[in-house]
Chains A and B, each alone.
Chain A
Amino acid sequence: MFMSLFLKECKIWCKSILFYAYIIILFFFYVTQMRSESAIKRPRPGEKEYGITYSENNSDIMNGTLKVLLNEYYNNKFVTYPMGFYKPVILSANEIKQVEKNISKLTGITEKDWKEKLDHYYESKNIKWSFYITKDIGYNEFLSIMSDLEKVIGKGSKYSAKALKGNAKIAKTYEQALKEYDEFLKKDKVTRAYARVFSDYMGIVLAILPAFFGVARVLQDKRSNASAVIYSKKCSSIIIVLSRCLAIIVMLFIPVLILSCFSLVESLYIAKTMGAAPDYFVYLKFCIGWLLPILMFVSMLSYFITELTNSILALLINSGIWFVSVFLGFDSPLISVGWNLVPRFNIIGMHGMFQEIFPQLVKNRILYSILGVFMILISILIYSIKREGGHKFYGKISQNFNNQS
């Protein structure tokens, strides 16, 4: 019974304009975003520059941060991204004093001295930068000063623990560039680097589009007055809800897999021309491990909320979640994982970085998969309560939202 019902649910989507719009949007995103990514070229010795990288060295981080700090201090404009949105902070005289104290601590020079030096630097243009962290300050003390600064300036500033690394921009050396190229070829086997970026882009759209399907499926019953007939049938609530949810997940996942094949073929071609041994299954692994949890969580959350409220409230909540998860990673927009629904890795290469975030990525993905499954379970519960006339508790919730849809 389950299989037959599942196939019928899939067929419902095959006839839905929503589904075709989804495919077109996905394809459009793929074409416009993915096609523009170019491969890493083999570096040659003696080139002018090899691009920039972020240093892992504590002293680079400290000195880089000092430079950012003095610059922001001079303009009295401190850039923050508290929720992903740009928020410049302008400090009051009192707060400025606190920052000045910290600068003195960091540089080990008196306030008068470094102020003069700084003015001099900005007024005449051809002076070399000559501010460095004093040797008396270790990395731990530096971190505690930074957290003091963050208290003054506010959340999401360039002095938050997460953002510090981003201040340490340095030029890549030839050796570094060569190492990265080697990793790209041998460890990432070219294909993996592309699969990561593919997942990164697709994650952005998959964090919102499936929400419309959860809402549409549940409201379809309400709109066509079909609930009562379906309720009265023998079939158990578990089978009904499970077949619906799985149909949504499977039908939405198939186009992702097909697109990943396009991308795979392209990256295979690049790998071949570069002489790398490709990883044929890497896209499949990334789709299942990285993208499927997003798709599941988003579609099932909206399914659950719609089943609970019989309204389009889910669209609002899901849009909010999308907004927050896509813009939250703003303080280092290229790579961020944490517990974010949409992990970002918008860069070809950087094998070492990926190794570093991988354990967190796994934990993160497991969390969202579990949440997705949990949403299915409570949707089943709510459906069976509704079906057995649990209107006393339920009627109130749905009535409150009914005028919205």
Chain B
Amino acid sequence: MNTEIVLKNVNKFYGKNQALKDISLTIPNGMFGLLGRNGAGKTTLMKILATLHNADTGKVMICGLDVEERAKIRDKIGYLPQDFTMYGTMSVYEVMDYLGTLAGLKKKERALRIPQMLDKVNLQNNYKTKVKAMSGGMRRRLGIAQALLNNPQVLIVDEPTAGLDPEERVRFRNLLCEIADQRIVILSTHIVGDIEATCENIAILHEGELCFSGKVSELLNIAKGKIYIAEISKLELEEMKSKYIVTGMLTKGSKVEVRFVSEDNSFPYARSVEPNVEDAYLYLMNGKEKV
């Protein structure tokens, strides 16, 4: 059975604005990260995959099915939008029951699946909690639970960690990793840390264009040998910033340890270090900007 998502030359316009420019991409099984700034086109792409928007041109195949076959696709996907909530007066169980019905589950299936899913996201003690009384993290977990109800082959999660506290964020990431065991999980984010910790494959969008797609290790390779650390005095900092892309800073007394990107090591006293995803991402973004 085909368990891939394939996009071919996808374009999407909003009026004169082109939100997606000729995107071609293959998304394999497992966790897939979609990285990009706010407004880079991530949500648009996610919505196309979730059958909520149409691509203007190009072809999108999900698990061997054309995305135009909405009813069939909707049976195979779970979608968690950016700011998921439900009717405030509904309780957790009612939300699951309602959305489960909409997902086409029979009564027996719902009775079986709902407790399982709520267990999975650690909401087993909150069946009667009303949506309006839930915290952001709880809502997000409820969102995942509802998206998993129909046991989808593809789970699409838009900016899932925005607004969560650090603990919640780690827990949420781990949850997604667990889920990604037998299916595709696409997660979009502008927070590099989320991707670094979880995804094997990633794609980077910039102003509607795909500027990288591949494994995390490949992304790191691009920036290999171009990341340096140097200790400078605070006075030199401004000059440093104007010349290089500074990806990190650590103040040490009157000195600052600066982490920066440089094509060649022209800076005295700098030592080369292994790049992390953030460095690579910033390096890539900066390259795009200069073009």
Contacts and interface: CB of A to CB of B under 8 A. Distances in A.
Interface string B97-111: 111011110010000
B127 interface: no
B25 to A, nearest CB: 19
B134 to A, nearest CB: 12
Nearest to A17: B89
Contacts of B89: 12, 15-16
Contact of A232 (B77, B86, B87): B77
Contacts of B85: 224-226
Dominant secondary structure of chain B at its interface with chain A: mixed
A67 to B, nearest CB: 62
B201 interface: no
B102 A224 contact: no
Contacts of B101: 1, 4-5, 8, 235
Contacts of A235: 101-104
Interface in B47-81: 47-48, 50-54, 70-71, 74-75, 77, 79-81
Nearest to A391: B53
A240 B102 contact: yes
A71 interface: no
Given A224-B85, A234-B150, A8 B98 contact: yes
Interface residues of A, number: 28
B84 A232 contact: no
Interface in A192-248: 220, 224-226, 228-236, 240
Contacts of B103: 233-235
Contact of B107 (A4, A11, A395): A4
B274 interface: no
Contacts of A233: 74, 99, 102-104
B104 A232 contact: no
A389 interface: yes
Interface in A330-371: none
A5 B98 CA distance: 7
Interface bracket on B = 35 or more
B75 A234 contact: yes
B107 A229 contact: no
A389 B54 contact: yes
A4 B94 CA distance: 12
B193 interface: no
B87 to A, nearest CB: 5
A391 B98 CA distance: 26
B88 interface: yes
B81 A228 contact: yes
Contacts of A240: 102
A236 B71 contact: yes
Contact of B88 (A8, A224, A229, A395): A224
B146 interface: yes
Contacts of A236: 71
B74 A225 contact: no
A232 B46 CA distance: 11
Given A234-B71, A234-B74, A229 B99 contact: yes
A169 interface: no
B102 A234 contact: yes
A232 B79 contact: yes
Contact of B97 (A8, A226, A387): A8
Contacts of B47: 228, 389
A345 B52 CA distance: 50
Central interface residue in A226, A236, A240, by most chain B CB within 10 Å: A226
B86 to A, nearest CB: 5
Contacts of B81: 225, 228-229
A47 interface: no
A116 interface: no
A229 B52 contact: no
Contacts of B48: 389
Contacts of A226: 85-87
Given A236-B71, A388-B54, A388-B70, A229 B104 contact: no
Nearest to B88: A224
B83 interface: yes
Given A1-B104, A4-B101, A235-B101, A228 B87 contact: no
Contact of B74 (A4, A16, A232, A389): A232
A231 B54 CA distance: 13
Contacts of B107: 4
Contacts of A225: 81, 83-85
A226 B90 CA distance: 12
B74 to A, nearest CB: 4
Contacts of B143: 229
B13 to A, nearest CB: 9
21 contacts: A1-B101, A1-B104, A224-B88, A225-B84, A229-B84, A229-B143, A230-B99, A232-B51, A232-B74, A232-B77, A233-B99, A233-B103, A234-B75, A234-B102, A388-B52, A389-B47, A389-B48, A389-B52, A389-B54, A391-B14, A391-B53
Given A8-B98, A232-B74, A232-B79, 16 more contacts: A4-B101, A8-B97, A11-B94, A220-B87, A224-B86, A229-B146, A231-B51, A232-B51, A232-B52, A233-B74, A233-B99, A234-B75, A235-B103, A240-B102, A388-B52, A388-B70
Interface of A: 1, 4-5, 8, 11-12, 15-16, 220, 224-226, 228-236, 240, 387-391, 395
Q: Which 4 A-B pairs have the closest CB atoms?
A: A389-B53, A232-B79, A233-B102, A228-B81
